[in-house]
Structure 1
Amino acid sequence: MIRSIAPDELEWFLASSYDFLGHSDPRAFARRSMRAVHDPLAEADRCFILFAEGDVPLAGAYVLAPEPEDDDQNLYLSNLWFKGAATDLSKLLSHLLHKFDHEAVHCPLYNVSPGRLEALAPALLGLGFEGRQAVDLEFSLSDLPPLGLPLVLEAWSEENDALFQGVFEQGEGYRPSEAFWAWLKRWRGPFHPNLWFVASEALDQEPVGYAFYGPLQEGIDGVYYLTAAGVLAEHRDSSEMLRRLLISSMQELAAISPFARIQTLVTQRDPKLVDILESLGFERRGKYPVFVKQPR
């Protein structure tokens, strides 16, 4: 049997999660964590348990699912635990992925030891997840470095969508499916065509790369999200072209919101992108393993 929990079971659920992680006093830590819970009923509705006969708990998971009308159709999993076999967790997660409509799934694993990560991995990999290392980065547009030699930017439109897909394909080495392309546009909310750019050296030259953004919070001191950025293979012999692309596109954002911040999450296996972003002034906010399941 699989069900969500009652509000008075929330502290026990948290204690089970902390116990799985190896916390020295999971009950006391769960009791302290409850002080930060403002809506126990809503939080309990997001906690699911797989039970065996006799109401014996086998596995648990916290689910933050999108609403059908949301532009952002990402589903998030956290507080994963199981008592015996990883297959119990896999059974629970499989049920939840079928229960809630979504386009992509993200499972960040904060403060998880290598041993616990190794225990969780089979349940996630068996459901089609990919394990990656995630790095959270943030940049303040008030600290934007000098522009130098700018690139010419072209914003997205329906007429040039095929051009954008082609540049993305050349930069990433694979052609995005229609499902993936639609999801990427709404990665963190409504799609804003004026924040998706392809860049070239001049108007009469072919694109050299792309930078896709979305607004998390609009305004002069808003927050933007860098969804994706890259350059074509022939420009990867150095970081110069990608640096020019990023600075040129960030100048566009600064013209709209000069005191805004840019956030991004890098999950690529190539550490060079993180190094380039940090060289431009992005600050690392965190690093942790994450399992993702994206549209194909």
Structure 2
Amino acid sequence: MISSLDDADFQIQLGEDKDDVLNELAVNRSATYLAFGTDAGSVGVVELASNRASRMRVRHENICGNVSFIPDRPNELISGGYDSAVLHFDFQQGSLLSRFDITASPPSSGVSLSPPFILAMALSTSGVMAVGTADGRVWIGTGGEKGHPSAKKKRSRKWEGLREDEGVWLSVAEGPVVGVSFIDLTSLLTCTLLGTLTLYSIVREEDRVVPTQKWTAESKDLAKVNAMSAEADRIVVGGFNADGRGVFTISNIKDTALATS
């Protein structure tokens, strides 16, 4: 266990200076690279064999809060920031491959007037992307999905998951969506700042994706949520209780679904 700097085998300075805060870390599936995003908007990777860190040449204009490696794309990663942009990189070259700039929803839509800061991201194993925003929406992008109906037989040179015309928007809440997680290839779980969990079924009808709400439930003992993760049959939600103490809850997905039926 590492309880102080003296317990660590080595240290790497990933922030641009001592005040630049790390916001998220991600490890690729082969455990060879670590991705990071910082308050200064930097996106970078650490080669774990050599402990060598490098940054992408393009950065976010504001806080970078999310980073993730793309399944079956060994050189590619994505990041999301408070500049409302999703950036897609070839991290070996440090170059930008594509980007998706999210615009605010119209005031008449009934969705929160908060800016569409990106607060959460998730990728399914098949390459479908989900993005949760501060204005209560979730974008589901299917342009990079393996087996996509419009995909050519020849494998694309790069992942195309940020194509806006291959995505759909969900209006999830009137406040921030702070967590998104794929339970499996066709099930997406979302979580709001106030702890509302909602499960959606993601299915195709002809050439379009149709999300359908399956159930919704409230997280127990949490006044505000910071993060949510779900895998297999468990949901983990972390945040603060009414007294301001940090807490997390672990629940069974099937039990949660039964309690809402």
Q: Same fold (TM over 0.5)?
A: no
Which interval holds the TM-score relative to the shorter structure? Answer: under 0.3
Q: Of the two, which has the highest radius of gyration?
A: 1
- Determine which structure has the larger helix proportion and give its number: 1
Please, what TM-score do these two structures have when normalized by structure 2?
A: 0.23
